[in-house]
Structure 1
Amino acid sequence: MASAPALLVLVLACLTATQAQVKVFNLRATGLPSNLISTTDGYVKVFCSSASMGETSVINNNADPWWKEEFSYFKAQENDVLRLEVYDSDFLFDDRLGVCQRQMKLGTHTHDCYLEKGGTLNYSYTLG
């Protein structure tokens, strides 16, 4: 039988590592760079820590895409890293335009992220 102090430590460990749902939504970009052939065919990959939450559809020939998809993950924790990778879909290989990452906090938040190759990604998330 477990001692009272050991049981208390176990309960406290469970309370500090409480899992929550994270929902990522309202993804849109502005000013994505064009190449010599066409305007950007953009899409976004979404991750919570190392877990893939999925990716958006590709929006062709649009420097200012707005993706309708929403992503949920049920094993998120406060301070986990939310990572969004923005790509330009191409025939041979996709170009990564930039990466946005942030430690998540409880509540609903909206952020702008400036991409390395130009443009801005705006997104919202709720953790709770």
Structure 2
Amino acid sequence: MDSSVPLVLLLLMYSSIIVEAQLKVYDLRATDLPTVILLTTDAYVTVSSGSTSLGKTSVRYNDPNPWWEEEFSYFYAEENDMLTLEVWDLDLLFDDQLGVCQRQLKVGTYQHDCFLTKGGTLHYTYTLG
């Protein structure tokens, strides 16, 4: 029976290691963002996992179909954490939120389309593993 104790300890250590996984969010692009009186959206995206901010993209000026090159990584993500992407329109006084995309993380690679409340669609890919 004593020989099973090291095996149990090894399994407990292994299970605590695989709980946390690397999250990678990439291939962010939007289509058909709204235009207001001849002014095209100056869009950017903020990315967070749970309560941790992973950062934001650069601003794509005057582009209703922007694509962002930034990739976001987070080494302490867990399955079932909430991934949140917020799409914003940069303005002089305060930025307008175009929509929020939320997804519960699962292990693997997934591509998603998110329909924004003020018009347009955000496309993105994430990998958790």
TM over 0.5: yes
Deviation at 1:37? Answer: 5.1
Aligned to 1:125: 126
Question: What code does the residue aligned with 2:41 have?
Answer: T
How many aligned residue pairs are there? 122
Give the 3-state SS of the residue equivalent to 2:12 in structure 1: helix
Question: What code does the residue aligned with 1:113 have?
Answer: C
Does 2:104 correspond to 1:103?
yes
Query: Normalising to structure 2: TM-score of the pair?
Result: 0.87
Aligned to 1:47: 48
Q: Which runs of 4+ in 1 moved over 6 A?
A: none
Question: What code does the residue aligned with 1:92 have?
Answer: L
Deviation at 1:16? Answer: 8.5
Deviation at 1:34? Answer: 1.3
Aligned to 2:26: 25
Aligned to 2:87: 86
- Between 84-93 and 32-41, report the one with greater CA deviation: 32-41
Deviation at 1:12? Answer: 7.6
Q: For residues 108 and 119 of structure 2, what CA distance do their matches in structure 1 show?
A: 29
Identity of aligned residues (%): 60
Deviation at 1:36? Answer: 2.2
Deviation at 1:15? Answer: 3.4
Query: Normalising to structure 1: TM-score of the pair?
Result: 0.88
Deviations 1:60-111 (A, max 9, x none): 0000000000000000001111000000000110000000000011111000
Task: State the superposition RMSD in angstroms.
Answer: 2.0
